Amino acid sequence: MHISDGILEPQWVLFWYFITAVFISAGLRAINKRIKTDPAYLARISLIGAVVFVISVWHIPVPVTGSSSHPVGTPLAAIIIGPLATVVISGIALFLQAFIAHGGITTIGANTFSMGIVGAFSGYLVFRLLKNHTSIWFSAGMAGLVGSIMTYIATALQLALSLNPGNVVYYWKLYSLGFIPTQLPLAFAEFAFTGYVIQYLLKAKTSLLETQQESPSGNFTKKAIIMMLLILSVITAGAYMGYLRGGDNMGIDTVVETLAAPDAAAEGIGVELMERLGEPLGFGFAGILGGLVTGYFWGGFTGKGQRRDN
């Protein structure tokens, strides 16, 4: 889901940008319409945007395969704020991630399609199909699992269409097989995480719907700093866990990308910045940004903020 600059052919860069732009336009209209009737929706969008940013940039080593990968977070987001709004926040998250060498500027369209459209809509569809026949936690968990796997299957298709136009189906299967051994364990983790979060939020549904958007309070600084340090610690631990055993735990995105296009050099502003500044600063940026945004909107999202009297 993090295809780098310099990998896809120009016509496919434009194609995926066009498809994504259609969904983002629809998503912005849906967001504006919803905010008019539900001011608290803005707080949920902002917090879930931070969650998607953090989850989808988090390196999690998979010891069996010797590489690392990312959860996607968009099935969870789609259940909470809707799939169209999720496309919008995915595009924003991927734009910021491009500056820390996770994807690229030219491939935001392609990456948003796989993570924000395929991942969100497939997970949301599974949730809607199952929720009246199984428990909420199971239907939400299956949404997380399916959305995670479908994101990488879509990425494999994008690589095959661009790099192997003469034999797309064969290479689509090949690239999918490259992704799935590393991604499958994380998909089961996303099953558990998504199911738990939705089950928890279900109990707080009334307060969530009744909460109004708040201005920053005196507790903002404390909340933001706590969330910033917590998220920074989690991301850093996940990113460097694999290095303790002497391995580099290269991201599966990069592994498959390199095998698919051995003569193409991944490029872009994020790659240059990470080469000059190093990953610690990049992941520090991810943790700080995600923590600050989460801390800012935490009270409004959980219903713990105090309403203002007009």
Total of domains in the chain: 1
Does residue 3 sit within a domain?
no
Give me the mean pLDDT over the 4-9 stretch.
84
Within a domain: 307 = no
Q: How many CA atoms lie within 13 A of 212 on its CB side?
A: 7
Query: For every residue of the chain, which 3-state class applies, written as one string?
Result: CCCCECCCCHHHHHHHHHHHHHHHHHHHHHHHHHHHHCCHHHHHHHHHHHHHHHHCCCCEEECCCCEEECCCCHHHHHHHHCHHHHHHHHHHHHHHHHHHCCCCCCCHHHHHHHHHHHHHHHHHHHHHHHCCCCCHHHHHHHHHHHHHHHHHHHHHHHHHHHHCCCCHHHHHHHHHHHHHHHHHHHHHHHHHHHHHHHHHHHHCHHHHHHCCCCCCCCCHHHHHHHHHHHHHHHHHHHHHCHHHHCCCCCEHHHHHHHHHCCCCCCECHHHHHHHHHCHHHHHHHHHHHHHHHHHHHHHHHHCCCCCCCC
> Model pTM?
0.76
The range of the structural domain enclosing residue 200 comes to: 10-302
Q: Per the domain annotation, does 141 fall within a domain?
A: yes
pLDDT digits (tens, 9 = 90+) for 52-98: 887 877 766 665 555 667 788 899 999 989 999 999 999 988 888 88
Please state the rounded mean pLDDT for residues 222-250: 56
Confidence check: pLDDT of 310 > 80: no
**pLDDT tens digits for range 252-303:** 666 676 666 666 655 555 555 555 655 555 656 666 666 666 555 555 544 4
Residue 308 lies in a domain: no
Higher-confidence residue of 20 and 248: namely: 20
> Is the pLDDT confidence value at 51 over 70?
yes
For residue 2, being part of any structural domain is answered with no
On the question of pLDDT at 105 being above 70, the answer is yes
Q: Which of 136-150, 178-192, 241-255, 276-290 has the highest mean pLDDT?
A: 136-150
Give the domain CATH number at 263: 1.10.1760.20
Q: In this predicted structure, what is the pLDDT of residue 57?
A: 74
253 assigned to some structural domain = yes
- Please give the structure tokens belonging to residue 121: 């809509």
* Mean pLDDT, the chain, integer: 75
Does some domain include residue 310? Answer: no
Q: Has residue 44 got a pLDDT over 60?
A: yes
Report yes or no on 309 lying in a domain.
no
Percent of all residues in the chain with a pLDDT value above 70, rounded to a whole number: 61
Beta bridge partners of 64: none
